[in-house]
A = this chain, B = another copy of it.
Amino acid sequence: MVNAPLTNDEIAKHNSADSCWVVIHGKAYDVTEFLPEHPGGSKIILKYAGKDATEEFDPIHPPDTLEKYLDPSKHMGEVDMSTIVAEAKVADPYESERQENIKNKPTLDQCYNLLDFEAVAKRVMKKTAWAYYSSGADDEITLRDNHSAFHRIWFRPRVLVDVEKIDMSTTMLGTKTSIPFYVTATALGKLGHPEGEVILTKGAAKHNVIQMIPTLASCSFDEIVDAKAGDQVQWLQLYVNKNREITKRIVQHAEKRGCKALFITVDAPQLGRREKDMRSKFDDNGSNVQSTSGESMDRSQGAARAISSFIDPSLSWKDIPWFQSITKMKIVLKGVQRVEDVVRACEAGVDGVVLSNHGGRQLDTAPSGIEILAATMPILRQRGLDKKLEIFVDGGIRRASDIVKALCLGAKGVGIGRPFLYAMSSYGLPGVERAMQLLRDEMEMNMRLIGAPTVADLDESMVDTRAVALHSTAIKDTLSLRAYDPLLAPAFRSKL
């Protein structure tokens, strides 16, 4: 088809549910028939009916989405973008404040720790992006407790140990790594940075750190694998599709592309309600894309939930052997939350578990991974199961001292997610690199100060966990208290 490019005039006519075209990356698509099937609901598409939707589309859809889901007959052709009238944007005080903040942003070397990136990100990120990354389930108690829990664990350092040479390298699932953390899976990287998850890939490469590739990445899986350097190690995070053939294809493709381990997410049969994200979405649209009480909630809760509607809530222990049959990658269950299930994971013969509550984004008042670890390891040791599989922890880690605590308690390594997103969103690749360097510097110092020259020297006698389950704290860390963005009540319209 060699037609003349479409113009604004032609496209603008298709601006209703009766005929709905949208422009994405310079091409027009007829999505009229697709409207009722859109996992994110039809309203959000109709907002862009007859217009260019690229900016909204990009962060939440991998680049191959349209090819996959829309029949070629609905591809209406190239658009003469010079004819597209940029929409007059409504003056948005939040946005102009943000632009001002970007101009006055601190220099990268003013960031001394991971929470500093969060403080910067809060002021320079787009409102909806910040809301999506920073939000947690319900009252965000678990979200915050994930971090707070580390402050209820106290060190018992050894002195007079020769700590001249510090070796913080270790192995995780058979892979040698330079430091016991990995970049855990987080969705929609392009919300924070136009290049998306490949930034994390490059940062991880620089520091010889393992990256877990998310199912819900903004970049496509192959883009992220293509971005890796040399023998850099990647793992695959998997939301299991109701259609197991699709799942099988994804898993086997990942194995073929060199992924070393498969992390099956088990804590998200349904995505949690993240009200901060929902409220931001509402504000952003000016009108409500959320369900009224009559509609299903499912399509009201922002893009993430929408694109996750394929996730299979019937996934259960009896599916594990099937995974073991389709791949030779190590298999790890991500999101285990009680010792009984760790024991069961041992019995199922998987290679590891991640004690995690999904960054506080799923079930509120679920305990932190580190608290679960403290309760779990003594029982595993008692039953002789502590060497049967590798245990990882994620959630709330902001300091190398947090990593040290997890390792003392018996974790093989820890996953870190949001801090790298904040570093990436604020400063791009240099931000991610510096964040990782800061962790290395802290780690070296902490291992010296606790008297453990190698990771193997970290043991359970070096921590005191008595306060962790009582949730009592006398002193809180100021930085996270200030970085935290509290939930708001519904906004009254401001009086003029």
Collect the chain B residues with CB atoms within 8 Å of residue A445's CB.
Answer: 270, 272-273
Distance in Å: Cβ of A112 to nearest Cβ of chain B: 5
| A450 lies within 8 A of chain B by Cβ | yes
Contact indicator A155/B120 (Cβ below 8 Å): no
Collect the chain B residues with CB atoms within 8 Å of residue A320's CB.
Answer: 160
Whole-angstrom CA separation of A119 from B488 in the bound complex = 10
- CB-contact partner of A487 in B297, B474, B479, under 8 A: B479
Which of A19-27, A32-40, A187-195, A360-368 faces chain B? A360-368
| A253 lies within 8 A of chain B by Cβ | no
Collect the chain B residues with CB atoms within 8 Å of residue A434's CB.
Answer: 292-293
Contact indicator A269/B163 (Cβ below 8 Å): yes
Please classify the interface of chain A as helix (H, G, I), strand (E, B), loop, or mixed, using the class held by over half of its residues.
loop
- CB-contact partner of A293 in B430, B474, B477, under 8 A: B430
- CB-contact partner of A162 in B144, B163, B315, B464, under 8 A: B315
Which of A51-59, A171-179, A335-343, A386-394 faces chain B? A335-343
Using an 8 Å CB-CB cutoff, how does the interface string of A436-454 with B read, 1 for contact, 0 for none? 0110011011101110000
Which of A76-84, A103-111, A208-216 faces chain B? A103-111
- Residues A414-460 near B (CB distance < 8 A): 430, 433-434, 437-438, 441-442, 444-446, 448-450
Contact indicator B367/A333 (Cβ below 8 Å): no
- CB-contact partner of A110 in B101, B279, B364, B448, under 8 A: B279
Whole-angstrom CA separation of A243 from B220 in the bound complex = 56
Contact indicator B316/A160 (Cβ below 8 Å): yes
> Which of A160, A316, A401, A483 has the most B CB atoms < 10 Å from its CB?
A160
Contact indicator A111/B490 (Cβ below 8 Å): yes
Whole-angstrom CA separation of A362 from B482 in the bound complex = 23
Collect the chain B residues with CB atoms within 8 Å of residue A154's CB.
Answer: 365-367
Which of A62-70, A86-94, A224-232, A465-473 faces chain B? A465-473
Contact indicator B430/A112 (Cβ below 8 Å): no
Contact indicator B489/A479 (Cβ below 8 Å): yes
Which of A9-17, A145-153, A255-263 faces chain B? A145-153
Collect the chain B residues with CB atoms within 8 Å of residue A492's CB.
Answer: 101, 104-106, 123
| A382 lies within 8 A of chain B by Cβ | no
Whole-angstrom CA separation of A78 from B1 in the bound complex = 85
Q: How many copies does the complex hold?
A: 4
- CB-contact partner of A474 in B290, B337, B473, under 8 A: B473
Contact indicator A145/B433 (Cβ below 8 Å): no
- CB-contact partner of A160 in B103, B141, B317, under 8 A: B317
Whole-angstrom CA separation of A110 from B474 in the bound complex = 30
Contact indicator B164/A490 (Cβ below 8 Å): no
Distance in Å: Cβ of A41 to nearest Cβ of chain B: 13
Whole-angstrom CA separation of A279 from B316 in the bound complex = 51
Contact indicator B367/A156 (Cβ below 8 Å): yes
Given known contacts A337-B157, A363-B450, A164 and B464 CB-to-CB distance under 8 angstroms = no
- CB-contact partner of A163 in B313, B340, B461, under 8 A: B313
Collect the chain B residues with CB atoms within 8 Å of residue A108's CB.
Answer: 292
Q: In this complex, what residue of B is CB-closest to A366?
A: B155
| A185 lies within 8 A of chain B by Cβ | no
Distance in Å: Cβ of A351 to nearest Cβ of chain B: 16
Known A112-B278, A470-B472; 12 more pairs at CB < 8 Å:
A104-B494, A109-B282, A120-B489, A139-B478, A141-B475, A145-B474, A157-B363, A159-B266, A159-B267, A267-B449, A273-B441, A466-B470
